[in-house]
Amino acid sequence: MSKLYIVPTPIGNLQDITLRAIDVLKEVDLILAEDTRTSGKLLKHFDIATQMQSHHMHNEHKMVERIVNRLQSGESIAIISDAGTPAISDPGFLLTRECIKNNIEVECLPGATAFVPALVNSGLPNDKFVFEGFLPVKKGRHSRLLFLAEEERTMIFYESPHKLVKTLTQFTEYFGEDRQVSVSRELTKLYEETVRGTLKEMLAHFKNKPPKGEFVIVLAGA
């Protein structure tokens, strides 16, 4: 039956994949993977022999029409990212939107995503929150931070290790050094760590301890 499955994959610990996700990945006609080398290790671990095709931010615009045609011809296709849920700071949105436009069924399986455990783990209010993902690198960064200075909900950001100190420095400038923050890294992995405190304390911490791994920053609202 023609259907696009959006399948979350583990963000570190391979045991976090669901039984249903394994079944879907074994049964579909094709798996679209952000990086086939990364996903190849996951598929091999769970004895999944389904054909894979590369689908990432640099080729997704060109591929969408071709994939929709395959779905319309009756194939079932799953999309996965390197880690977590596709379309959350990863490819997947364009294809999902195009499938919906063409009345192709889309089903998203529940599963791993980094920001939920980081938020719950933070100790900051989580009844209302805003997910910002990665901030603009250059253009639009200043205006985005100015806008967020008034945000009253808890804010969630993704950041890479080499930009973490710069981002925390800018947060102290725009939000004030006493704002509470929780910084999680390497979630579900061997060296998982969450540190909490004021922006001033976190900036000092990561200046003394060079950042390693992928980070989720959970920042208190105004």
In whole angstroms, what is the distance from residue 191 CA to residue 92 CA? 29
pLDDT, position 62: 79
pLDDT for position 119: 97
pLDDT at 90 over 90: no
* Residue-wise pLDDT tens digits, 25-84: 999 999 999 888 989 999 999 999 999 998 877 777 778 889 999 999 999 999 999 899
**In Å, what is the CA distance from 106 to each residue of 65, 116, 193?**
16, 23, 35
pLDDT of residue 1: 73
SS (HEC) of 76-134: EEEEECCCECCCCCCCCHHHHHHHHHCCCCEEECCCCCCHHHHHHHHCCCCCCEEEEEC
pLDDT in tens, 128-166: 999 999 999 888 999 999 999 999 999 999 999 999 999
Decide: 182 and 122 in contact? Cβ < 8 Å: yes
Neighbours of 32 (CB within 10 A): 27
Cβ–Cβ < 8 Å for 40, 31:
no
Q: Given a cut of 90, is residue 105 above it in pLDDT?
A: yes
What is the pTM for the complete model shown?
0.88
Q: Which of 123, 148, 145, 125 is nearest to 136 (CA)?
A: 145
Checking if the pLDDT of 89 tops 80, the result is no
**Domains of the chain (ranges, CATH numbers):** 3-108 (3.40.1010.10), 115-219 (3.30.950.10)
